[in-house]
């Protein structure tokens, strides 16, 4: 594992982690334009300092838990965001015993590790972006002018 740090966060009753270097920022209680009719995984769009960014719900959970943190991630030219309930920790990746997931939840979740006796699913952000990319370009073009 060549990642230097993981950020661990709580989303939809589970713990997830991602490479910390992809996190652009975490924003509290951000307003966004809901666009539920476009794709089940796209909650809406948010304007952050002139950047129009999709707000994603990759599992289309339908959970109404009022998450308060918007995680904004960047990989290359793509920026995405999704809400989470809480950031649990930021930990060094060195020394973490990572295991493969035998039955994947999605192509972008393929490994996990234990943290405080809980299972933490690792999100591969680059694979996540590839998964979402086919829908994002269309949505971005349709809503850029809305802001």
Inter-CA distances, 116 with 1, 29, 119, 127, Å: 20, 28, 8, 27
In the chain, the percentage of residues whose pLDDT exceeds 70 is 76
Average pLDDT over residues 116-120: 94
Give me the pLDDT at residue 1, please.
43
Q: d(Cα 29, Cα 31) in Å, to the nearest integer? A: 7
Give me the pLDDT at residue 20, please.
95
Q: Which residue has the higher pLDDT, 106 or 119?
A: 119
Q: Tell me the Cα Rg of the chain.
A: 15
Helix (H/G/I), strand (E/B), else coil: 22: helix
Q: pLDDT for 57-115, tens place per residue?
A: 765 555 555 667 899 999 888 888 988 888 999 999 988 899 988 776 677 888 999 99
**Window from 2-6, 15-19, 70-74 with minimum mean pLDDT:** 2-6
- pLDDT-derived band at 36 (thresholds 50, 70, 90) equals low
Q: d(Cα 47, Cα 121) in Å, to the nearest integer? A: 29
All structural domains of the chain = 5-144 (2.40.50.180)
Give me the pLDDT at residue 77, please.
83
């Amino acid at each position: 594992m060549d990642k230097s740090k993981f950020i661990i966060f709580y989303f939809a009753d589970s713990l997830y982690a991602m490479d910390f270097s992809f996190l652009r920022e975490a924003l509290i209680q951000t307003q966004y334009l809901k666009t539920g009719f476009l794709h089940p995984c796209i909650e809406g769009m948010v304007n952050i300092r002139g950047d129009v960014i999709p707000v994603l719900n990759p599992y289309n959970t339908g959970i109404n838990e009022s998450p308060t943190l918007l995680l904004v991630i960047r990989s290359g030219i793509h920026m995405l965001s999704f809400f989470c309930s809480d950031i649990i920790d930021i930990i060094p990746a060195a020394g973490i015993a990572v295991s493969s997931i035998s039955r994947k939840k999605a192509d972008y979740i393929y490994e996990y590790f234990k943290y405080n006796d809980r299972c933490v699913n690792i999100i591969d952000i680059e694979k996540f972006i590839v998964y979402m990319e086919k829908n994002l370009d269309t949505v971005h073009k349709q809503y850029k002018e809305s802001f």
